[in-house]
Chains A and B, each alone.
Chain A
Amino acid sequence: MMDSSVKIINEWDIVAARQLGRNVAKELGFGIVDQARITTAISELARNIYLYAGQGEIIIEKVENGAKKGMTIISRDAGPGISDLRKVMEDGFSTSGGLGAGLPGVKRLMDEFSIESTLGEGTLIQSVKWLR
Chain B
Amino acid sequence: MNMRIPILKLHDCLLVSIQWELDDQTALQFQEDLLHKIHETSARGVVIDFTSIDFIDSFIAKVLGDVISMSKLMGAKVVITGIQPAVAITLIELGIHLEGVMTALDLEKGLEKLQRELGD
A residues whose Cβ falls under 8 Å from a Cβ of B: 11-12, 14-15, 18-19, 32-33, 35-37, 39-40, 43-44, 47, 91-92, 98-102, 104-105, 108-109
- Asked whether, in the complex, the Cβ of B23 is within 8 Å of the Cβ of A15, the reply is yes
Which residue in A37, A43, A47, A101 is a CB contact (below 8 Å) of B96? Answer: A101
Q: Which chain B residues lie closer than 8 Å to A14 at the CB level?
A: 23-24
A33-B86, A36-B55 known; A11 vs B23 contact (CB < 8 Å): yes
- Asked whether, in the complex, the Cβ of B57 is within 8 Å of the Cβ of A37, the reply is no
B residues whose Cβ falls under 8 Å from a Cβ of A: 1, 21, 23-25, 54-59, 61-62, 65, 84-87, 89-90, 93-96
Which residue in B24, B58, B93 is a CB contact (below 8 Å) of A99? Answer: B58
- Asked whether, in the complex, the Cβ of B90 is within 8 Å of the Cβ of A33, the reply is yes
- Asked whether, in the complex, the Cβ of B21 is within 8 Å of the Cβ of A105, the reply is no
Which residue in A12, A19, A32, A101 is a CB contact (below 8 Å) of B58? Answer: A101
- Asked whether, in the complex, the Cβ of A36 is within 8 Å of the Cβ of B54, the reply is yes
- Asked whether, in the complex, the Cβ of A99 is within 8 Å of the Cβ of B62, the reply is yes
- Asked whether, in the complex, the Cβ of A105 is within 8 Å of the Cβ of B93, the reply is yes
A14-B24, A36-B87 known; A105 vs B95 contact (CB < 8 Å): yes
Listed residue (B24, B59, B87, B93) with the most chain A CB atoms within 10 angstroms of its CB: B93
How far does the alpha carbon of A104 sit from the alpha carbon of B96 in the complex, in Å? 11
Q: Which chain A residues lie closer than 8 Å to B24 at the CB level?
A: 11, 14
